[in-house]
Amino acid sequence: MRKLSVTLLLIIALMETISAQNFYSKRRDRTLMFSYGAGISTYHGDMYDILYDGLSPGPNVGLGLRKKLGSQLSMRLDVNWYQISAADSLTGASGTLGRSRGRTISTDSREIRNLSFRARNFELSAQFIFNLIPIKGSYSRRPLINPYIIAGLGISTNNPKGLDSTGSGEWVNLRELNTEVLSEPYSGVVMVVPFGFGLRLRANQFIDILVEGARRFTFSDHLDDVSSDYPSIDQVRQYHIDNGTGLEELAIRMYDRSAEAGFAPRKERNTRGNPEYNDAYYIFQLRLEMYLPDNFLGEIFSPSRKKPKFR
């Protein structure tokens, strides 16, 4: 009986301690949040118009670390891997090659152009997150549902590839082929401006579910390797001979693919794309976001942190 009484007293004392710790934990704010998730990405440009063609989904995955700056504003460092792709053969018959303001565009359809690409890129961005509902006091007092706005600045790799279906059958790097014979090949890194919206759903005290989508405005018209006019075969060949790349025959196969679809080869200065509009892409994700303890980073980077002993 005495042992039972002592046991009950210990259990009650332990429950009181846990309850007190939980109470003070709720009163303290947590200002650092980690998130991860996955979703779909799609592209908008010379080869695909999301407004008319709908989604052309590719996969994406992402990680984020968010720091609370105030009751509504926070900043998030984001890293994403995403895939975008398009093919004239899938969307071509529906339209001509882009729009123009004072620029002559041929009436060739995208079906005749018959180009395609796929890109698997990494993106790094700093994003401001603005909650529409203020969170005053501790994180534990946040609402069940909170919409938010996303705006930021970042960079993305830019390496479109094309399928060499009449040659090796492999995906080849289009950027190094310089298919439009630019005086300077476009960069493998582009600046991006994310802008979008999200919805934060409270799952429990420490975890939120995020549903968000954002357009990435870019400063490039070459996410798809398509921008202006066709060069001539001689120009393509001479560029690679002059630069000693050894890629002239591959470049000739990849810069004009009309013949593969049964059409006559394009002539020099025929329209290949429209340089008046930059390309863009969208990332839609479902994420889990976790509120980290106050001393999380301090515990990780503390020089006095004891190393575990292995016996």
DSSP per position, 11-38: HHHHHHHHHHHHHHHHHS---EEEEEEE
**Residue 116: predicted pLDDT:** 94
176 vs 118: CA distance, rounded Å? 15
Phi and psi at 222, nearest 5°, equal: -125, 25
**Residue 272: predicted pLDDT:** 93
Beta-bridge partners for 124: 79, 155
Instruction: Yes or no: say if 119 and 133 are a contact pair by the CB < 8 Å rule.
Output: no
147 vs 38: CA distance, rounded Å? 19
Beta-bridge partners for 118: 85, 161
Instruction: Yes or no: say if 129 and 66 are a contact pair by the CB < 8 Å rule.
Output: yes
Report which of residues 306 and 118 the model is more confident about. Answer: 118
Sorting pLDDT into bands at 50, 70 and 90, what band is 60?
very high
Sorting pLDDT into bands at 50, 70 and 90, what band is 302?
low
**Using the 8-state DSSP alphabet, how is residue 93 labeled?**
G
248-263 per-residue burial string, b: 16 or more CB within 10 A, e: under 16: bebbbbbbbbbeeeeb
Residues 6+ apart with CB under 8 A from 183: none
Does residue 50 surpass a pLDDT of 90?
no
Residues 6+ apart with CB under 8 A from 32: 65, 66, 67, 68, 291, 292, 296, 297
The per-residue pLDDT for range 97-118, each reduced to its tens digit, is: 554 434 444 445 788 999 999 9
**Residue 301: predicted pLDDT:** 60
The per-residue pLDDT for range 66-102, each reduced to its tens digit, is: 999 999 999 999 999 999 999 988 864 445 455 443 4
Candidates 138, 110, 121; CA nearest to 24 is 138
The per-residue pLDDT for range 264-291, each reduced to its tens digit, is: 999 999 999 999 999 999 999 999 999 9
**Residue 13: predicted pLDDT:** 44
**Using the 8-state DSSP alphabet, how is residue 94 labeled?**
G
**Residue 297: predicted pLDDT:** 63
